[in-house]
Amino acid sequence: MTLYLSRLRLKRDPRTEALKALIDPEGPGALDAHHRLIWTLFADHPDRRRDFLWRADGRGRFYALSVRPPAPAPLFESPDVKEFAPDLARGDRLSFVLRANATKALKREGRGERADVVMALLHKLPGQQAPGREARSQRPEQRMDLARRAAQDWLAAQGARDGFSVEALEVQDYSVTALPGHLGRRRGQPQFGILDLSGTLGVTDPGVFLPALARGFGRAKAFGCGLMLIRRAGPGS
């Protein structure tokens, strides 16, 4: 399978700037707007299914990994597209960044469902089922500690299945956002968590790892999660 890694940038002209609040907004609406924006590069017919991963890199910049090169689109500069076929061997060390919606399977009241790995840990803490003022005040501090623990366990499990081992991991950020299309009153609002991860990994099975890169990691891939960007790790990294 041939893959293409593309760097994408919005045009900086008056017409694009006039649409900035719609196509590159800040806040909860950004995920849905960016999702629709990236589709303008790949939607060549009405029945096309998504066959690409993407992530926003801020200030009108994006990355995409796809099985087809992106088409020119009026709102974008000419894409910078390269074939993505890294020559990897067992034992290679890679630096990576990954924005992931990390979930795990749970059974609740006899029903199977998936839960965000950080919130699943948070809800196990004493007092979190019906938190008082003190428990609520602890949540921001606890959340990043739990995010590190949950991310380490989750990514290690991904690696055991997908041909890599985690050597070093940093959690740059963890946030919870409303599912696009369900913005409104917070009570009962569908939400999902986003982990921004970076670190170093070792390739244990390149024949498994490369297809996994193409599939992406975790869920919410339509909304900019799952794309792992890699490069060779330097000495001592």
Is residue 237 in some structural domain? no
**Predicted local confidence at residue 132, as pLDDT:** 40
**Predicted local confidence at residue 188, as pLDDT:** 55
Question: Per residue in 32-66, pLDDT tens?
Answer: 999 999 999 998 888 889 999 999 999 899 999 99
Domain housing 200:
93-232
**Calpha distance 118→202 (Å, rounded):** 25
Question: Distance of CA 216 to CAs 78, 111, 135, Å?
Answer: 25, 26, 35
Residue where a domain terminates, one of 32, 52, 84 = 84
- The model's confidence at residue 185, banded by pLDDT at 50, 70 and 90, is low
**Predicted local confidence at residue 62, as pLDDT:** 98
Residue where a domain terminates, one of 66, 84, 102 = 84
- The model's confidence at residue 20, banded by pLDDT at 50, 70 and 90, is very high
Does 29 share its domain with 144?
no
Q: Which of 175, 173, 176, 179 shows the shortest CA–CA distance to 35?
A: 179
The number of folded domains in the chain is 2
Question: Per residue in 67-123, pLDDT tens?
Answer: 999 999 999 999 999 999 999 999 999 999 999 999 988 766 566 678 899 988 877
pLDDT at 178 over 50: yes
Question: Per residue in 152-166, pLDDT tens?
Answer: 999 999 999 999 999
Does 73 share its domain with 132?
no
List, in sequence order, every residue forming a beta bridge with 174; answer none if it has no partner. Answer: 195
